[in-house]
Amino acid sequence: MLCIDRDNDLGVKTGIEGPVIGREDNIKAALALGLADPEDADTNTILAAVSAYDDLLRKGMDVEVATILGDVDVGYTSDVILAKQLEETISLTGASSAILISNGAEDEYIFPMISSRIKVDSVRSVLIKQSRSIESFYYHILKLLKDAKTRKRIIAPIGLAFLVFGLISLLPFFRLLWQGEFSLSIDELSSRAAGALSFIFGLFLLQMAYQIAHLFREGPRRVRRSLSEGDLTLPFFVFALLLFIFGLLEGYNRATVDLTSVQESTFNRILLFFDGSLYWFAGTFVIFEFKNVANSMINREPVPRSFWMLVTSVIAVTFLALGGLHYMILSAELPFGGSTTSIIIEIVLGLGIAVVGGLALRTVRADLSVMKDSWRR
């Protein structure tokens, strides 16, 4: 029985290190996790693995139960740790096949890595039953805020929107500050209190989404570990950060061009800001995700298919967003070096890349479905 905790909830919340091998150790781990966070689904997953282990043991089969732990940095980092713990588990138990027990959240990402190292006889997903009284709106909101993945998907974009709106609103203040007009800059800041509050609130939401304070505390340890393992995440992160900063500067330069009194508005400034920075923001994302390709090539592993899907989606969305952005800029008669033809080309390219990416993603999912069916058989 092999239980998988890809994002290392067990290790983070209890301090237990993987792999956890044996019935008693797994029960202790599940109890510790349940006491630390009674709502964590991994507790039920570990207990389900122990229950399945007991059932096969009663049938006279030679079995063992083990739980392997990944890392909070879900992706390449966590999967490398899972692979090492899996190999250690196979070495200690002498297992020749495995039955995977999971909560179904990360199945399609984990299975290829597991099946490449040990034969998979069966896959069991654990679904958690909830009482109707618990399923309240307030409860689910609190659950969403506690989940790291949900925070990044929902709170981070909202925080970024507040941050950008506040930044654009404060552009006149930053310009006066840069010019050394300190007294005027204070007056300008006081007249743009809403923009300042939006900027601060955006920073707060981004801190909540990405737990930036925790990253600063854990950063040195993770950097040392990644460098010792030959992980290229750090240099790609630095490169991506430089591109992001350059994008901010380009957006600022674009947004601070001289406008007529008719053209002057916060919305128009926002349009100009993204016109100058959107290319660089998209490049930041692609460069940072390219670390997975570099790490896979160094370790002589296949390039993750998810990378190509992400890159295709980002490029398509970027072209479509630029097409809409440039159309609004052209309609508002703002400074623009393109034309209606260039806008049409951007939209057509975005749609074409989106269609190609969608067909490729459908093919990948079909291949994964066939692979899962073969593993279950």
Tell me: the pLDDT tens digits for 18-45? 899 999 999 999 999 999 888 787 888 8
Q: What is the mean pLDDT of residues 66-84?
A: 84
Res. 248 pLDDT band, cuts 50 70 90: confident
Does any domain span residue 76? yes
Does any domain span residue 59? yes
Res. 234 pLDDT band, cuts 50 70 90: confident
Phi, psi torsion values for 183, nearest 5 degrees = -65, -45
Q: What is the mean pLDDT of residues 207-215?
A: 72
Q: What is the pLDDT of residues 216-228, one digit of tens each?
A: 666 566 656 665 6
Q: What is the pLDDT of residue 4?
A: 87
DSSP letter string, 83-146 = HHHHHHHHHHH--SEEEEEE-SSSHHHHHHHHHTTSEEEEEEE------TTT--HHHHHHHHHH
The 10 Å CB-count burial string (b at 16+, else e) for 147-180 is: eeeebeeebbeebeebbbbbbbbbbbbebbbeee
Please compute Rg for the chain using Cα positions. Answer: 25
Most confident by average pLDDT, 19-33, 203-217, 359-373: 19-33
Res. 168 pLDDT band, cuts 50 70 90: confident
pLDDT of residue 136 exceeding 70: no
pLDDT of residue 182 exceeding 90: no
Q: What is the pLDDT of residue 39?
A: 75
Mean pLDDT, the chain, rounded, equals: 79
Does any domain span residue 136? no
pLDDT of residue 130 exceeding 60: no
Q: What is the mean pLDDT of residues 85-111?
A: 81
Q: What is the mean pLDDT of residues 142-160?
A: 73
Does any domain span residue 94? yes
Does any domain span residue 289? yes
Q: What is the pLDDT of residues 322-356, one digit of tens each?
A: 999 999 998 888 888 888 899 999 999 989 988 88
Res. 163 pLDDT band, cuts 50 70 90: confident
Q: What is the pLDDT of residue 286?
A: 86
Res. 108 pLDDT band, cuts 50 70 90: low
Structural domain of 295: 257-377
Count Cβ atoms below 10 Å from residue 275 Cβ, excluding itself: 23
With the C-alpha atoms ordered 199, 200, 201, 205, is the resulting torsion angle positive or negative? positive
Q: What is the pLDDT of residue 376?
A: 44
Does any domain span residue 268? yes
Query: Of the residues 125, 158, 187, which one is the last residue of a structural domain?
Result: 125
Does any domain span residue 247? no
Most confident by average pLDDT, 233-237, 289-293, 350-354: 350-354
Tokens of 266: 């916060």
pLDDT of residue 79 exceeding 80: yes
Which of residues 338 and 127 earns the better pLDDT score?
338
Query: Of the residues 105, 125, 145, which one is the last residue of a structural domain?
Result: 125
Alpha carbon separation from 342 to 324, 326, 367 (Å, rounded): 11, 9, 38
pTM exceeds 0.85, yes or no: no
* Percent with pLDDT over 90 in the chain: 17
- Find out whether 25 and 3 touch, Cβ atoms under 8 Å: no
Query: Of the residues 99, 125, 151, which one is the last residue of a structural domain?
Result: 125
Q: What is the pLDDT of residue 26?
A: 93
- What is the domain count for the chain? 2
Does any domain span residue 169? no
Which of residues 227 and 311 earns the better pLDDT score?
311
* Percent with pLDDT over 70 in the chain: 79
